[in-house]
Amino acid sequence: MPGLIAENSQATPTLATAVSAPSKPPGKTFAFQEKLPHLPIPPLEDTCKRYLKALEALQDDYEHEETRRAVEDFLENDGPRIQQELVEWAKTKDSYIEEFWYESYLSHSDPVVLALNPFFVLENDPTPSRGTQLPRAAALIISSLGFIHDLHAGLLEPDTVRGTPLCMDQYHRLFGTARMPTSRGCKMDAHPESRHIVILRRGQFYWFDVFDDENRPLLTEREIQRNLAAIVSDADTLDITQVARNSIGVLTTEKRQNWWHLREILVKDKNNKACLDIVDRALFIVCLDDAAPENLADLCSNFLCGTYRLEGGEQVGTCTNRWYDKLQIIVCADGAAGINFEHTGVDGHTVLRYAADIFTDGLMLMARSINPTAPTLFQAKLSPSAKAYKPPRGSTNGSATKTHDFIDTTPKKLEWRLIPELRAGVRFAETRLSDLICQNDCQALEFKGYGKNFITSHGFSPDAFVQMAFQAAYFGLYGRIECVYEPAMTKAFLHGRTEAIRSTQPESVEFTKTFYSDATPSQKVAVLKKACERHVKLTRECSQGLGQDRHLYAIYCLLQRELNGDLNPSPEDPAPRPAAPNKLPAIFTDPGWSTLSTSIISTSNCGNPALRLFGFGPVAADGYGIGYIIKEDGISMYVCVPFSSQPFSSSFIIHFGERPTDSTLLCALQLCLLQAPSNSAIPRYAPKLPSRDPENLGPLA
């Protein structure tokens, strides 16, 4: 095939062995790292009070009294000792929760698809020439290379919130990183010297180099598009039976132990081992789908888990065109684009910065094509080793070939050698993935009635308002109060991740029940205000590291290690320690611990003009996964629910606000606000022009 070497290259790209992130990276990107405070360990008594408060609305009086006794017993006996153990533990750590966090994610044995990996739906690129698949994919790749170049060069501006610098550590694990199964859980392998990308088309794997050894791009946008066209031309010649049988990517959707077993068989063949090495070490994966979803819900599901479609008994959906152990850029046949990311090492805020920057860079490149003097977002210059490189005017070095050897950027295909056991593994994995996809009902909503402008004009926090609406909608369908989770970002601290906001509080329950009562609009608005104020206070505390979930989980993990004999004194620290308990304290065996640890309604708010929607799967067997974006004059959301949970997500969407009628919850809330007498000087809502303010409206995934 012209322009493509259809073979498996035995020589890996120009990569170094996996190494940890540099201790002192250059430039301004990581300039604040050494100045960031450590995540605080709250006083145990305060954490226990928050724990009881978080459970108050989720338990009856008898259950709550039992939990209170377990907490008091813990504070009087094992609690102070293990709290001191945690304080000592934290003295040698960048973050007291980090190691336990990774253990939790990497010990996850179920498939990562749906359960762990979130997705973003990018807004459409307004550039006319990028309205189709290959131009859009090439633009996203070239902007991603600019982002990575500036990241490695220390040229990216550090993340901040209202002038406060945020930890940038997660960016070390965004590119060139892979989640890899082992005999005991998983591990993360980072390859900071990665120089190539991997392209998937119809389940087939291709790769080509994109950087020189100084992280300078080797290709122009047009050259990348030509490479992609060659890949598509090659992959589309395959018969559908060959596609299904060789879609090795579906193995990443298996239970982790199954994937490890099959991976061990794969690497026994040197050729397969070389193929896996190329995939694992890639900067990121680009999935070029051969189909275009017909509606918004299908578009979201395509980025979350791929589509399920049989043709002649063979799976031809996009679900086989993925590799879930790495960051993936997914581009549909019509040019719609999204991101699916492995969540262990990065949170939504980090990936959101990347998504926003490459989207913005695409707009700036469009402006530059019209006006060559227009600025660009990134500072990546074409490598002298690139075929398209032209020496600067006035250069005395002459042709680039005199001082630089061209680096081959021809796309190459990875050819897997699959023995019968591996072919069976691929087939069974595809079947189980199809079952998993069909077990979930996923729906999307773009509510246009009102958004941030209207909510704030009435004096409410947009995030708190929507959180109360979720609880009211769920109660209206089920008649039950359940545990709600929302993450609060803690990146103001070194190696910060998130803290859990437990949104179900006595104030929110009072609002929910009042909302469905015969109370007047004024009474409903009054309890809504009280509930929202409580939520805002919780969010602020959690962002300061003053929640209960992470602290108690760290204590729980230390106790588990004691029970397993993993915290014995080392030869360097022979001092005797108090005797460890022979069983977990009652606080961790009491039903309250399980209640608060089971997020029936898992939510996350992630807003930016670059995003149209985002979401994730449910984390509980009978739960909801809700990703939402509060825009200036609208609210977008994606809901995913197992079919075993009644009613389905479509019922939730309809009840919440699918139709602009007074019967939907969002419209009913709007009516209450409009009918309630104004008791403040806050002006009533007036329509505004859409804002491009990228500030996040709330906590992030």
pLDDT tens by residue, 397-433: 544 444 568 999 999 999 999 999 999 999 999 999 9
The predicted-structure confidence for 523-550, as pLDDT tens digits, reads as follows 999 999 999 999 999 999 999 999 999 9
From residue 60, alpha-carbon distances to 63, 468, 484, 590, 646 in Å are 5, 21, 17, 14, 24
425 and 498 housed in the same domain: no
Domain CATH number, residue 481: 3.30.559.10
172 and 257 housed in the same domain: yes
Q: What is the pTM of this model?
A: 0.91
Catalytic status, residue 343:
yes
578 and 610 housed in the same domain: no
Domain CATH number, residue 357: 3.30.559.70
The predicted-structure confidence for 452-499, as pLDDT tens digits, reads as follows 999 999 999 999 999 999 999 999 988 999 999 999 999 999 999 999
Position 366 scores a pLDDT of: 81
Residue 589 lies in a domain: no
First-to-final CA distance of the chain: 43
Position 687 scores a pLDDT of: 32
CA dihedral 14, 20, 26, 31 (to 10 degrees): 150
228 and 367 housed in the same domain: yes
For 618-628, b where at least 16 C-beta lie within 10 A, e where not — what string?
Answer: bbbeebbbbbb
382 and 293 housed in the same domain: yes
Residue 322 lies in a domain: yes
453 and 576 housed in the same domain: no
48 and 121 housed in the same domain: no
Averaged pLDDT score across all residues of the chain:
89
Residue 10 lies in a domain: no
**Which residues of the chain are modeled with pLDDT < 50?**
1-21, 398-402, 568-576, 662, 679-701
Residue 16 lies in a domain: no
* Domain range enclosing 384: 103-388+406-440
Residue with tokens 């750590």: 93
Residue 394 lies in a domain: no
Catalytic residue among 172, 343, 458, 551: 343
453 and 330 housed in the same domain: no
For 406-418, b where at least 16 C-beta lie within 10 A, e where not — what string?
Answer: ebebebbbbbbeb
Residue 501 lies in a domain: yes
Give the separation between CA 200 and CA 457, rounded to whole angstroms: 47
Position 233 scores a pLDDT of: 98
431 and 463 housed in the same domain: no
Residue 342 lies in a domain: yes
Residue 223 lies in a domain: yes
Number of separate domains in the chain: 3
Domain CATH number, residue 53: 1.10.275.20
Give the separation between CA 492 and CA 510, rounded to whole angstroms: 33
491 and 553 housed in the same domain: no
Domain boundary among 584, 609, 641: 584
Position 663 scores a pLDDT of: 53
Give the separation between CA 392 and CA 399, rounded to whole angstroms: 10
535 and 626 housed in the same domain: yes
339 and 478 housed in the same domain: no
Q: Which residue type sits at 237?
A: T
Domain boundary among 584, 608, 636: 584
119-122 and 160-161 as β-strands: parallel, antiparallel, unpaired? unpaired
